[in-house]
Chain A
Amino acid sequence: DSGVTQTPKHLITATGQRVTLRCSPRSGDLSVYWYQQSLDQGLQFLIQYYNGEERAKGNILERFSAQQFPDLHSELNLSSLELGDSALYFCASSVGIGDGRGETQYFGPGTRLLVL
């Protein structure tokens, strides 16, 4: 158990809909990262928040957005869903801002999203 929790575990929805994925980082971790894992694209970094502020952006679509709240939990919002958005979405956390090369990220169990 990494200490990172994600809800829900599974989500089934229809095209065009909007969903919210939730992540609670490990106790004491200030950074939260979101990743998308799909069969054809592998593991793709989406976005990072540090202590409530957006820190880094990766391959995140404009239809997707995220935020980190004062209690440090984070939400990833996916809207106007398409079939191709079906994937595993992972949240990870780390203690610091992420500048250190050796800083480890701890992953949650993921949310499996299926868009029908």
Chain B
Amino acid sequence: GDSVTQMEGPVTLSEEAFLTINCTYTATGYPSLFWYVQYPGEGLQLLLKATKADDKGSNKGFEATYRKETTSFHLEKGSVQVSDSAVYFCALRARRQNFVFGPGTRLSVLP
């Protein structure tokens, strides 16, 4: 079945460092890909998405590019802030299928 693999956390960075969280997927067909973020004590929020190959999703300085050839959707941000500390979930959804989430990657940004 469909699956999502994320780099295991926690990831600890200093403020203004460059962030990459790797995400790869296995799916039949051509799924849409998502990044959700969960701040402490809150539900998941959509961060960005891409619905077809080579699409780039971006929001709040984060971006990810749908790479069909490497089945990847890595999340990047050029300069992280303390307020970016959260758990980040990569997810996919194929047509007529349910969402499949990765295990989540906890990010801690230190001042």
- A102 to B31 CA separation, bound complex (whole angstroms): 8
- A4 to B93 CA separation, bound complex (whole angstroms): 21
- A52 beta carbon closer than 8 Å to chain B: no
Tell me the A81-116 residues at the B interface (CB within 8 Å): 90, 92, 98-110
- A70 beta carbon closer than 8 Å to chain B: no
- A2 beta carbon closer than 8 Å to chain B: yes
- B46 beta carbon closer than 8 Å to chain A: yes
Are B103 and A90 within 8 A (Cβ)? no
Instruction: State how many angstroms separate the Cβ of A68 from the closest Cβ of chain B.
Output: 16
Residue numbers in B under 8 Å from A92 (CB-CB):
44
Are B101 and A4 within 8 A (Cβ)? no
- A21 to B96 CA separation, bound complex (whole angstroms): 27
Q: How many residues of A contact B (CB 8 A)?
A: 24
- A84 to B102 CA separation, bound complex (whole angstroms): 21
Interface string of B30-55 (1 = CB under 8 A from A): 11101010000111111001010000
Q: Which residue on chain A has the smallest CB distance to residue B6?
A: A42
Residue numbers in B under 8 Å from A102 (CB-CB):
32, 49, 51, 93
Are B98 and A4 within 8 A (Cβ)? no
Interface string of A33-64 (1 = CB under 8 A from B): 10000000011010010000000101000000
Are B99 and A99 within 8 A (Cβ)? no
Instruction: State how many angstroms separate the Cβ of A114 from the closest Cβ of chain B.
Output: 15
Pick the contact of A106: B42, B46, B93 (CB < 8 A): B46
Pick the contact of A104: B49, B94, B101 (CB < 8 A): B49
Pick the contact of A99: B31, B95, B101 (CB < 8 A): B95
Residue numbers in A under 8 Å from B103 (CB-CB):
42
Residue numbers in B under 8 Å from A105 (CB-CB):
46, 99
Residues A109 and B42 in contact in the complex (CB < 8 Å), given A43-B104, A101-B51 = yes
- B89 beta carbon closer than 8 Å to chain A: yes
Interface string of B70-98 (1 = CB under 8 A from A): 00000000000000000001000111101
**Which B residues have a C-beta under 8 Å from some C-beta of A?**
30-32, 34, 36, 41-46, 49, 51, 89, 93-96, 98-104
Can you give 10 A-B contacts (C-beta < 8 A)? A33-B98, A43-B104, A56-B98, A58-B98, A101-B30, A101-B31, A101-B51, A105-B99, A106-B46, A109-B42
